[in-house]
Amino acid sequence: MEYDEERQRPVVAPAAKPARAPEPPHPLLALQQGVGNAVVSRAMLARNRNMIQQQYDDARKERETFVAAGKKGPQTYNPSTNNAANYYGGFDVEYEPTKGELNVKLKGAVAFQDGMTLSAAGRAQAVEPSAQTAAAAAAINKLPKAARAAEVAKWTWSSNGGPDASDETDLLTGFKSSVEATWREKHPFHCTKNYWEDLGATTKINVEVAKVANAAGKAGDQHMLVNTFKVAKGFVGGSADVSRTGGATGSPFNNIMNITSEDVVPRKDGLLESKVSFQAGKGLLTPRSVGTVWRLAKEMPNAAPGSTIETANLTVKVQGKDAAQRKDRFDAVVDHLNQGGKVDASRVTMVEDGEGEAGTIVVGDGNAQTVAAHEAGHMFGLDDEYTGGGAYGAGKKTEHTDFAAAAGHTGAMHAKSDSIMSEGSVVRPHHYVTFLDALKQVSGMPDWDYGAAKPVKEPDGMGDFPTPGTDPGVPGGAAKEPETALA
């Protein structure tokens, strides 16, 4: 025994601590120690596969129940409900899941009004409120008095003695066919719920319009009163618009549309074409044409960074004595488009148009718009996209810009374009944003997006996991060395 001389006492060794019992292994570790990694992996994969299969089975059963319940709707869609900037429009909507169809119905009462009358004194009086009709009446009044009645008759519906026997029937038929053909089946939708992606929706358009004597004859379930003014065949001009009594707080059944009898056929004023001329023998535009190109450029801003909505391109048809001169003239047009509005050169394409001193600039596809189809876009809850003063300035937002952006389509703006809500006839994806919103409302679920329905594959029992006992890095899953239990 040791002796501590300083303390004058023996040194006593501390008692030994009892040994600590070992920690029990983690259940997974214990299982791995007992049966090996391969067996545990198989058990875990089986559980995951069963869970995935159950999710699939539950989702498909829920989908089948939804479809078996039949049609959803009809109900009336108010474009102002989810878009505070909107103050017009309305239509009925119904979804048929068994057919994958979103049925849009637009109902209107048509009041036929003469665009011009003849006073007792024998003078033409404009009724249709545009400046063009006023000018036509003034021109008629310059004719000999005896010749005026025949001219005014061209602005009179056949029911009031006008010379065009089928004009009212033609208007009703033309309105229906032009709107339906322009708007139907453009951009499909599909359900985004997991394992519901094969549920789709193709938009069908059904227009019902019927004659009424006046506004009092409009039925309560008709979305609009269409004041249709008779104009002479081939007339270019007239007022066209849609408004709603009460604005954003008004009823989707209290819309008023104004059109003319020529608004159910394609426009004849070539809004998407600009004629230019070149200086004789030179690769330069005439001074007047320089102004034409600059004005066009200012109406066609480039897309803002990050925009998903395409801007209309330009095709320049150029004449000249040979290919070299035509190329010089095309370059001159591109240069002035850049000077006038910074139009990106990548948006401009050249087409050689033979010999001569002229050129034509075509916006987009160049196809003429039918005004009735454009006005129907307002009934579907969309703003104008063409340019003008104030809020209609080129590059400024429209009343559906933010609404479309929330659905993934950014950059809607006022610009000269071949879009249906500008000056053309193209229905682009963002023009379907109210139909998408209506589908969500009538179906009672928000899980919808753009794109066709997609096939849904049942889990194959294997999942995305490697088969235990194989090497996932070897083609074909070749066998690898046997797993060993942890020691």
| pLDDT above 70 for 188 | yes
Q: What is the pTM of this model?
A: 0.86
Report the CATH fold assignment for 73-115+156-268+368-450: Collagenase (Catalytic Domain) (3.40.390)
| pLDDT above 50 for 271 | yes
Q: Please, what is the Cα angle at 26 between 24 and 30, to 5 degrees? A: 85
Distances (CA, A) of 73 to 79, 94, 95, 412: 17, 5, 7, 30
In the chain, DSSP finds a helix count (H) and a strand count (E) of 10, 17
Question: What's the token pair of residue 319?
Answer: 């004449």
Give 475's pLDDT tier (boundaries 50, 70, 90): very low
Nearest Cα residue to 275 out of 361, 355, 350: 361
pLDDT of residue 47: 76
Say whether the peptide bond before residue 97 is cis (omega within 30 degrees of 0).
Answer: no
Give 48's pLDDT tier (boundaries 50, 70, 90): confident
Interatomic CA distance for residues 13 and 11, integer angstroms: 6
Contact criterion met (CB below 8 Å) for 128 and 229: yes
CATH superfamily of 273-363: OmpA-like domain (3.30.1330.60)
Residue range 111-148, pLDDT digits in tens: 999 999 999 999 999 999 999 999 999 999 999 999 99
Average pLDDT estimate for 329-350: 98
Number of neighbours of residue 245 by Cβ within 10 angstroms: 12
Residue 470 DSSP class: B
Nearest Cα residue to 399 out of 213, 242, 253, 165: 242
pLDDT averaged over the chain? 91
Give 1's pLDDT tier (boundaries 50, 70, 90): low
Average pLDDT estimate for 390-396: 98
Question: What's the token pair of residue 435?
Answer: 């139909």
- Report the share of the chain in percent with pLDDT over 70: 85
Residue 77, helix vs strand vs coil? strand
First to last CA, the chain: 44
Average pLDDT estimate for 32-55: 71
| pLDDT above 80 for 57 | yes
Residue range 356-370, pLDDT digits in tens: 999 999 999 999 999
Question: What's the token pair of residue 291?
Answer: 């102004």
Average pLDDT estimate for 153-175: 98
Q: What are phi and psi of 272, to 5 degrees?
A: -100, 10
pLDDT of residue 460: 82
- Report the share of the chain in percent with pLDDT over 90: 84
Give 7's pLDDT tier (boundaries 50, 70, 90): low
Question: Please, is 468 exposed, middle or buried when counting C-beta atoms within 10 Å of its C-beta (0-12, 13-18, 19+)?
Answer: middle
Give 478's pLDDT tier (boundaries 50, 70, 90): very low
Question: What's the token pair of residue 265?
Answer: 């056929």
8-22, 28-42, 388-402, 468-482: which range is least confident on average? 468-482
Average pLDDT estimate for 285-314: 97
DSSP string, 275-327: EEEB-TTSSSB-HHHHHHHHHHHHT-PPPPTT--SPPP-EEEEE--SSHHHHH
| pLDDT above 70 for 32 | no
Element (H, E) at 35: helix 27-35
Distances (CA, A) of 168 to 10, 156, 210, 263: 128, 11, 10, 13
Average pLDDT estimate for 287-304: 98
Residue ranges with strand state E in 138-246: 189-191, 200-212, 224-230, 241-244
Average pLDDT estimate for 312-328: 98
Neighbouring residues of 222: CB distance < 8 A, sequence distance ≥ 6: 107, 108, 109, 253
Of 16 and 155, more confident = 155
Give 36's pLDDT tier (boundaries 50, 70, 90): low
Contact criterion met (CB below 8 Å) for 277 and 296: no
So where are the chain's domains?
Answer: 73-115+156-268+368-450, 273-363
Nearest Cα residue to 223 out of 202, 195, 243: 243
pLDDT of residue 364: 98
Give 467's pLDDT tier (boundaries 50, 70, 90): very low
Contact criterion met (CB below 8 Å) for 28 and 40: yes
| pLDDT above 60 for 477 | no
Residue 138 DSSP class: H
Of 184 and 50, more confident = 184
